Structure 1
Amino acid sequence: MARRSIWKGSFVDLFLMKKTRENEVSNVGLRSRDAKSSSAALRSSSTGVTILRKIWSRRSSILPEFVDCGVRIYNGKTSVRCQITEGKVGHKFGEFAFTRKRRPSRTNIGPGRRGKK
């Protein structure tokens, strides 16, 4: 697997960093537009989980600032919920939202069901 050069650093889209800063400010409760958003901000700050809404950037790396954030990663069809933990730091968002359907494992077919040769 190819690795990125250390001197380049991790790749993160700029709008993700903006969203984390906006969420930090709204969780404090200082910038609330109406009662609904302030109650949602209080709920998320009391549980310690912030939600970054939807993310279309599967190529961005997960930074330590994103820990304890709930994100919804777009996989090409729907958004997949993902809770960011310390173990996911350094990975890409796309690793946690599969783009292909999982094929169910095929069970063994008994000799009576196969048919005669």
Structure 2
Amino acid sequence: MPRSVWKGPFADALQKLPHIWRGTRRSMILPEWVGRQIEVHNGRKWMPISIVEDMIGHKLGEFAFTRTKSPHKGALLRAKAARKKKKV
């Protein structure tokens, strides 16, 4: 369910560190942040995100992916067999 319009956007204050800004995943991207590079924690590491105009109104967490893509094991086996075939 979306946030009520009369409440306005929710955004935690950004933390200013010596050379970077850090934000929370739950914060909505505000127009004042355009052009900044903000780091967001994805649960494992801090991911840098460059803010552009198209991101306004979205959450920071939408751009800090928490899962990695892993190929299907069958596809890996087929690729390995194809490489072996080419060598022979």
One fold, TM greater than 0.5?
yes
The alignment of Structure 1 onto Structure 2 pairs a total of residues equal to: 79
Gaps of 5+ in 2: 83-88
Q: Corresponding residue for 1:88?
A: 55
Gaps of 5+ in 1: 20-36, 41-50
Identity of aligned residues (%): 42
| TM-score, normalization by structure 1 | 0.56
Q: Corresponding residue for 1:8?
A: 7
1:37-116 equivalences in 2 (<5 Å) = 51-52=20-21, 54-55=22-23, 57-104=24-71, 107=75, 109=78
Structure ranking higher on relative contact order (CA contacts 8 Å, 6+ apart) = 2
* Structure 1 residue 12 displacement after superposition: 0.7
1:81 match: secondary structure:
strand
Q: Distance in 2 between matches of 1:78 and 1:67?
A: 23
Higher percent of residues as helix: 1
4+ residue runs of structure 1 moved beyond 4 angstroms?
A: none
* Structure 1 residue 66 displacement after superposition: 0.2
2:7 match: secondary structure:
coil
| TM-score, normalization by structure 2 | 0.73
